[in-house]
C-alpha cells in the first residue's frame, strides 16, 4: 500500500511542477519538504498539491481522504514536513477508513 501512496504523491508533485514555470521543481524524493521554511511551495502551491494528492488517493483506493483540515495542519510532526511523513499520514487515514 505504501508504494501506491507514494505513487499518488509523486503524481501530485508532477502536477504541481507543471504550474511552477519560474521556480525550481519540487523533487520526487522522500525527504522533500512540502510546506514550511524549507519548502519552495507557497500557500496556493500547497493547496494545489494537497488537492491533487487527495484526488489521486481517492482515484487509487476508492476512498476519500482529507489532508488539509485542522487535524492534519495541527499535527506534530506535521504530515507536510516531508513526502515520507505525508505518505505515513495517508496510510494512517486509509487504515482508519478500512477499520471503520
Partner 1 sequence: MELGLYTFGELTPDPSSGRAISPQRRLRELLAEIELADRVGLDVFGVGEHHRPDFAVSAPAVVLAAAAARTERIRLSSAVSVISSDDPVRVFQSFATLDLLSGGRAEIMAGRGGFSESFPLFGCNIDDYDDLFTEKLALLLELRAGERVTWSGRHRPAIDDLGVYPRPLQDPIPIWIAGGGNMQSTRRTGGLGLPLALALINTRASRFKPIAKVHRRAAAAAGHPEPPLSVNAYGHIAESTAAALDDSFEPFATTVNRIGAERGWPPLTRADYEASAELDGANFVGSPEDVVEKILYQHELFGQRRTLIHFAIGSLAHDEVMRSIELFGTEVAPAVRRALGPRTDTATEQEKERGGAG
DSSP helix/strand/coil, 25: coil
| Residue 64 CA from chain centroid, whole number | 14
Distance CA 72, CA 64 (A): 15
Quick one: 27 or 55, whose CB is closer to partner 1? Answer: 55
Minimum distance from residue 61 beta carbon to partner 1 (Å): 16
Q: For residue 58, what is its C-alpha cell?
A: 481517492
Print the binding letters for residues 18-47 with partner 1: x by CB under 8 A, - otherwise.
Answer: -x-----------------------xxxxx
Residue 62, phi-psi category: left (phi > 0), alpha (psi -120 to 50), beta (remainder): left
Residues 69-88 that bind partner 1 (CB under 8 A): 69-70, 73
Out of 27, 40, 60, 68, name the contact with partner 1 by CB under 8 A. Answer: 68
User: What residues make contact with partner 1 under the rule CB under 8 A?
Assistant: 19, 43-48, 50-52, 54, 64, 66, 68-70, 73
Amino acid at each position: 500500500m505504501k508504494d501506491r501512496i507514494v505513487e499518488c504523491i509523486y503524481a501530485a508533485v508532477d502536477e504541481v511542477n507543471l504550474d511552477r514555470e519560474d521556480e525550481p521543481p519540487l523533487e520526487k524524493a522522500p525527504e522533500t519538504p512540502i510546506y514550511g521554511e524549507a519548502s519552495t511551495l507557497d500557500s496556493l502551491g500547497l493547496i494545489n498539491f494537497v488537492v491533487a494528492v487527495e484526488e489521486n488517493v481517492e482515484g487509487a483506493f476508492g476512498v476519500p481522504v482529507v489532508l488539509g483540515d485542522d487535524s492534519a495542519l495541527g499535527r506534530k510532526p506535521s504530515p507536510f514536513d516531508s513526502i515520507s511523513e505525508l505518505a505515513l499520514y495517508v496510510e494512517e487515514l486509509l487504515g482508519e477508513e478500512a477499520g471503520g
